[in-house]
């Protein structure tokens, strides 16, 4: 971690006292400046919408508000909770304390997944496409996947999406995000009636958003989950996506940022210990619990049960990626060639174009950065 | 232990969304010969006339070709030559009427009254010819290839500390006011102050860089005269002893390329043989992200994007937006402009080299002081056109006076073009007998 030089704190102080307050949290002058600018925009906008838009020039009130926002951020509260939104790819989603903030790595992986499906066979998916997003949180994966599909795929079938989460807060936030997107898309359609390209996209997105629902259920209790899904419409799925809690207890203490530990919900990050799951007879292997792998076995079971053709899981690192890949090959007798381990930036780099894929523990690895996902092409 | 260090991780974006960044520019090469010697009476050089006749002939040939079968590239060429042909036509008419009047006047059989009338007409006929000559000359001047594009105005403080930053801010306001007075649409693409404000009205912090996009067609042609160092001489608000300071602000004017997705005239950039082609495979995309474990372990707000055009090393970073795709889009816009501008500068330098021996160099670039704003004398002097106005307030307010100064520079640029073209092809015997 770079040390903050007293000089840069002094510098910030002389520029703007608020900047100096943000510096310890933001760690660099450049990012402190950006955050201060976004906070200021937020303070001014918020102020303007709270009153009449005319009161925008009413300086003192937004300044007071900005001071409050800066104080919250300076105490380590995530900027996304302070501002109330985060960008996920090019979707702006609402964030609330109690629900995990969507991460850019996740958006990158989902975007790349759609690109790969496009490259593999753009015309394959013609019938109703059923998407299952387990551990949906803010709903970001469910919502972004359909958005990307509609933007890039040449064929747009009926898309039916279900997002599942155990946290009631997450379910209501996911619903809110869906409804908010629906509203803005409806407004967009009203506004640019003339522009054909965006009209087509907007109406398709409205349709698929209307076919998106969020379900309160426990992913670790497979049989109950399956019953609930059956009741919703059908258990069958074409695409299964999941970003479950995957941080080990050790990782939570040692490689998780303080602001995450203090402000984001632990149940979204660290799997529970097996014996703490009521009414569940679990293997008592302390070491495997400690690795944070608890969710992947039930997830693979649901993938098999729903007969998903494409499965994507987010993971903590390349070791966990390999463990999950081994789990899949042993549980489902999948061929190793059907599996891919993706890093944070899975798309090929400029030099990577002619280079060969890396192999890790017998699996193909794509891209650069930390290990971030496992993809299982069951149709491949 | 948490890790908040950040680093650039590069990636190559394959997505189709970036396809429109493939930009090809069709550079119209126009080398028209213009002789240096100018016929006093006609106000135009004989070689220039003969060149115009050749082009007009070519024009009518293309037109007849088009009437047989339509071809879009032929149509484009014909369209480009159209103004030359019609300007020449006007010039011929004006000259013919002078010849007629002269014959009338010389003819001894003409009666006195008619001769007088002819003499009266002569004056206006000469004026007509002058006008026709001027527009014929203009039609032969090669158009700047980016003339029709929208543009980006980048304003940065130069020498002079905070006072320079204040002046840069004044310049930004001046151009904004000029645009709104002239019905031009603008967007503030980037506005960085020391404290990072995005609100140009609510910030007291010194400006570091502002980028104003003028989205109307032809904005580049209108504003390219503004590129260079603008010098200010005034007593800064902060100066207690009443001393005049000299400081400066630098203005960079870049053409802004429409993207195909916005239904812009992207077809202009589709010539694969063109020099103006930015291959996305030559652009490295770096994304700022947290080092360390990433994923669920961190919740950073890094959204910065950096683009590097590998062949030229031109680098653009953008971190103004919270959304990474938005930063990427804005960065692409800037890099396309910079790369194209760089190529244009090399091209100009080459042309300049060939002209250097013959004419005095009319240099115009970011290192040259182009204009002085002297508050004490309420004076604005443009060092290229030589125009001085004692109406500083109206210039700084972006009013008619600013347009006057800008127009003087545009005229200066055209004059320079004509001079240079004439110098490029020294007069030769061929063609002079044409008139
Ligand atoms: C890492 S978060 C992922 C959220 C979201 N998909 C994303 O990518 O930002 C994991 C989510 O799983 C949910 N969760 C935790 N335990 C669960 C369980 N047993 N069944 C279903 N969901 C659970 C949490 O509430 C949290 O929203």
- pLDDT at residue A303, as a whole number: 97
**Ligand 1: distance of its center to the CA of A246 in Å?**
10
- Check A268 against B205: CB less than 8 A apart: no
A66 in contact with ligand 1, CB cutoff 6 A? no
Query: Considering the domain A98-377 in this protein, what is its CATH number?
Result: 3.40.50.150
- Do B2 and B73 have their domain in common? no
- Check B4 against A37: CB less than 8 A apart: no
- pLDDT at residue A15, as a whole number: 67
- pLDDT at residue B137, as a whole number: 82
* Residue closest to B158 by CA, chosen among B318, B342, B366: B366
Candidates A247, A268, A313: which one to mutate for ligand 1, based on the most atoms within 8 Å of Cβ?
A: A268
- Residues A264-277 pLDDT 10s: 999 999 999 866 55
- Do B162 and B212 have their domain in common? yes
| Average pLDDT, integer, range B83-94 | 89
Higher pLDDT, A238 or A196: A238
Ligand 1 nearest-atom number relative to CA A133: 6
- Residues B230-266 pLDDT 10s: 999 999 877 788 889 999 999 988 877 655 333 333 4
- pLDDT at residue B30, as a whole number: 30
Nearest to A348 among B2, B12, B324 (CB): B12
- Residues B206-234 pLDDT 10s: 888 899 999 998 898 899 889 889 999 99
Residue pair B231/B248 in contact by the 8 Å Cβ criterion: yes
* Concatenated DSSP letters of B70-125: --HHHHHHHHHHHHHHHHHHHHHHHHHHHHHHHHHHH-TTS-HHHHHHHHHHHHHH
- Do B135 and B63 have their domain in common? yes
- Do B197 and B319 have their domain in common? no
Domain membership of residue B125 as a residue range = 46-140
Highest mean pLDDT, choosing among A211-215, A330-334, B96-100, B290-294: A211-215
Model pTM? 0.68
CATH number for the domain including B233? 3.30.70.1660
A220 in contact with ligand 1, CB cutoff 6 A? yes
Confidence of residue B201 (pLDDT cuts 50, 70, 90): low
Q: Kindly state the helix (H) or strand (E) to which residue B383 belongs, with its residue range.
A: none
* Concatenated DSSP letters of A269-331: TSPPPGGGSTT------HHHHHTT-TTHHHHHHHHHHHT-SEEEEE-SSHHHHHHHHHHHHHH
Rounded-to-integer distance, Cα A310 and Cα B138, Å: 64
Centre a 10 Å sphere on the Cβ of residue A122 and count the other Cβ atoms it contains. Answer: 12
Q: Kindly state the helix (H) or strand (E) to which residue B245 belongs, with its residue range.
A: strand B245-255
**Angle, helix A59-74 to helix A17-26, in steps of 10 degrees:** 30
- pLDDT at residue A338, as a whole number: 95
Tokens of B306: 């950096």
In chain A, what residues touch B198 (CB-CB under 8 Å)?
Answer: 37, 40-41
A36 in contact with ligand 1, CB cutoff 6 A? no
Q: Is B38 domain-assigned? A: no
- pLDDT at residue A301, as a whole number: 97
* Residue closest to A232 by CA, chosen among A131, A311, A308, A309: A131
Report the complex ipTM. Answer: 0.89
- pLDDT at residue A220, as a whole number: 96
Residue pair B406/B179 in contact by the 8 Å Cβ criterion: no
Confidence of residue B153 (pLDDT cuts 50, 70, 90): very high
Highest mean pLDDT, choosing among A93-97, B234-238, B299-303, B365-369: A93-97
Residue B154 phi, psi dihedral angles, 5° rounding:
-105, 125
- Do B128 and B181 have their domain in common? no
- Check A255 against B296: CB less than 8 A apart: no
- pLDDT at residue B123, as a whole number: 84
- Check B12 against A152: CB less than 8 A apart: no
Q: Give A216's strand partners.
A: A165
Q: Is B428 domain-assigned? A: no
**How many domains is chain B built from?**
4
Residue of chain B with shortest Cα separation from A80: B301
CA angle B5, B6, B9 (to 5 degrees): 145
A residues 82..141 contacting B (CB < 8 A) = 86-87, 89-90, 92, 100-101, 103-106, 111, 115
A165 in contact with ligand 1, CB cutoff 6 A? yes
In chain A, what residues touch B261 (CB-CB under 8 Å)?
Answer: 197
A273 in contact with ligand 1, CB cutoff 6 A? no
What one-character DSSP code corresponds to residue A2?
P
- Check B3 against A19: CB less than 8 A apart: no
- Do B198 and B120 have their domain in common? no
- Do B324 and B375 have their domain in common? no
The residue to which tokens 């972004």 are assigned:
A144
Confidence of residue A319 (pLDDT cuts 50, 70, 90): very high
What would you report as the CA-atom Rg of chain A, rounded to the nearest whole angstrom? 22
Whether the predicted pLDDT of B125 surpasses 70: yes
CATH number for the domain including B307? 3.30.160.20
A interface test, pick of B8, B266, B297 with most A CB neighbours within 10 Å? B297
Look at A268-277, B39-48, B139-148 and tell me which has the smallest mean pLDDT: B39-48
Tokens of A86: 């985060």
- pLDDT at residue B353, as a whole number: 54
Mean pLDDT of chain B: 75
Whether the predicted pLDDT of A285 surpasses 50: no
- Do B8 and B95 have their domain in common? no
* Residue closest to B340 by CA, chosen among B235, B430, B248, B269: B269
Look at A210-219, B163-172, B204-213 and tell me which has the smallest mean pLDDT: B204-213
Whether the predicted pLDDT of A235 surpasses 80: yes
Can you list the alpha helix ranges (DSSP code H) found in chain A? Answer: 6-15, 17-26, 29-50, 59-74, 79-83, 104-120, 140-152, 168-191, 196-210, 222-232, 249-254, 258-263, 286-290, 296-306, 318-332
Q: Give B316's strand partners.
A: B307
- Do B69 and B203 have their domain in common? no
Tokens of A252: 């939570």
Where do the structural domains in chain A lie, given as residue ranges? 15-76, 98-377
Whether the predicted pLDDT of B14 surpasses 60: no
Whether the predicted pLDDT of B362 surpasses 50: no
Whether the predicted pLDDT of B198 surpasses 60: no
């Amino acid at each position: 971690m770079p040390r903050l030089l007293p000089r840069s704190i002094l510098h910030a102080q002389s520029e703007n006292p608020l900047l100096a307050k943000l510096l310890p949290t933001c760690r660099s002058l450049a990012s402190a400046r950006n955050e201060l600018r976004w906070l200021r925009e937020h303070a001014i906008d918020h102020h303007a919408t709270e009153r009449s838009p005319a009161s925008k020039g009413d300086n003192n009130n937004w300044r007071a508000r900005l001071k409050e926002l800066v104080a919250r951020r300076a105490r380590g509260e995530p900027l996304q909770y302070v501002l109330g939104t985060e960008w996920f790819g090019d979707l702006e989603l609402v964030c609330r304390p109690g629900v995990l903030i969507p991460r850019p790595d996740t958006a990158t992986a989902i975007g790349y997944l759609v690109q790969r499906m496009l490259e593999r066979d753009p015309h394959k998916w013609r019938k109703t496409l059923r998407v299952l997003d387990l551990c949906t949180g803010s709903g970001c994966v469910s919502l972004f996947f359909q958005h990307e599909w509609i933007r890039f795929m040449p064929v747009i079938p009926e898309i039916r999406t279900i997002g599942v989460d155990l946290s009631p807060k997450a379910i209501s936030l996911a619903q809110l995000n869906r409804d908010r997107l629906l509203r803005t898309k409806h407004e967009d359609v009203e506004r640019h009636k003339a522009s054909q390209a965006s009209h087509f996209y907007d109406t398709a997105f409205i349709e698929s958003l209307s076919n998106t629902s969020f379900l309160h259920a426990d992913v670790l209790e497979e049989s109950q989950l399956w019953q609930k899904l059956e009741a919703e419409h059908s258990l069958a799925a074409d695409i299964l996506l999941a970003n479950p809690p995957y941080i080990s207890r050790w990782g939570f203490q040692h490689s998780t940022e303080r602001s995450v530990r203090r402000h984001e919900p632990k149940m979204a990050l660290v799997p529970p210990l097996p014996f703490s799951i009521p009414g569940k007879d679990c293997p008592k292997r302390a070491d495997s619990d400690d690795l944070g792998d608890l969710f992947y076995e039930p997830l693979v079971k649901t993938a098999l049960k729903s007969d998903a053709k494409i499965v994507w899981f987010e993971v903590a690192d390349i070791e966990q990626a390999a463990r999950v890949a081994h789990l899949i090959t042993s549980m489902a007798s999948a061929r190793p060639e059907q599996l891919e381990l993706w890093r944070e930036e899975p798309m090929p780099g400029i030099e990577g174009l002619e280079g060969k894929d890396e192999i890790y523990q017998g699996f193909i690895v794509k891209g650069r950065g930390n290990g971030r996902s496992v993809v299982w092409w069951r149709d491949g | 232990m948490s890790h908040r260090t950040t680093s650039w991780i590069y990636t190559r974006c394959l997505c189709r969304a970036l396809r429109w960044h493939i930009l090809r520019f069709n550079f119209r090469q126009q080398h028209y010969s213009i002789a240096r010697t100018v016929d006093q009476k006609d106000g135009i050089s004989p070689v220039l006339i003969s060149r115009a006749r050749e082009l007009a002939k070519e024009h009518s040939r293309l037109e007849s070709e088009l009437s047989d079968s339509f071809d879009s590239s032929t149509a484009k060429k014909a369209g480009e030559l159209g103004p030359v042909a019609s300007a020449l036509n006007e010039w011929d008419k004006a000259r013919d009427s002078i010849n007629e009047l002269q014959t009338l006047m010389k003819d001894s059989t003409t009666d006195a009254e008619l001769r007088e009338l002819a003499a009266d007409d002569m004056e206006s006929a000469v004026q007509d010819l002058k006008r026709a000559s001027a527009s014929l000359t203009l039609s032969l001047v090669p158009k700047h290839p980016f003339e029709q594009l929208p543009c980006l105005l980048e304003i940065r403080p130069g020498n002079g500390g905070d006072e320079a930053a204040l002046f840069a801010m004044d310049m930004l306001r001046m151009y904004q006011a000029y645009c709104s007075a002239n019905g031009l649409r603008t967007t503030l693409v980037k506005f960085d102050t020391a404290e990072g404000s995005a609100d140009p009205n609510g910030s007291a912090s010194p400006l570091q860089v502002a980028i104003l996009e003028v989205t109307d067609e032809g904005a580049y042609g209108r504003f390219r005269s503004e590129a260079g160092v603008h010098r200010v001489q005034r007593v800064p608000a902060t100066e207690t002893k009443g001393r005049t300071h000299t400081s400066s602000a630098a203005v960079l004017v870049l053409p802004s390329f429409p993207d195909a997705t916005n239904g812009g005239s992207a077809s202009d950039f589709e010539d694969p043989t063109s020099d103006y082609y930015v291959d996305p495979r030559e652009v490295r995309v770096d994304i700022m992200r947290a080092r360390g474990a990433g994923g669920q372990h961190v919740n950073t707000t890094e959204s910065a994007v950096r683009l590097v055009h590998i062949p030229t090393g031109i680098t653009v970073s953008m971190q103004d937006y919270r959304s990474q795709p938005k930063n990427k889009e804005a960065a692409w816009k800037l890099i396309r402009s910079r790369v194209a501008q760089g190529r244009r500068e090399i091209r100009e330098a080459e042309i300049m080299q060939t002209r250097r021996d013959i004419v005095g160099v009319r240099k115009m670039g970011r290192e040259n002081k182009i204009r002085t704003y002297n508050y004490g004398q309420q004076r604005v002097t443009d060092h290229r056109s030589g125009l001085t106005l004692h109406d500083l307030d109206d210039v700084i307010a972006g009013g008619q006076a600013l347009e006057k100064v800008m127009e003087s520079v545009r005229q200066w640029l055209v004059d320079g073009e004509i001079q240079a073209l004439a110098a490029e092809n020294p007069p030769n015997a061929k063609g002079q007998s044409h008139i």
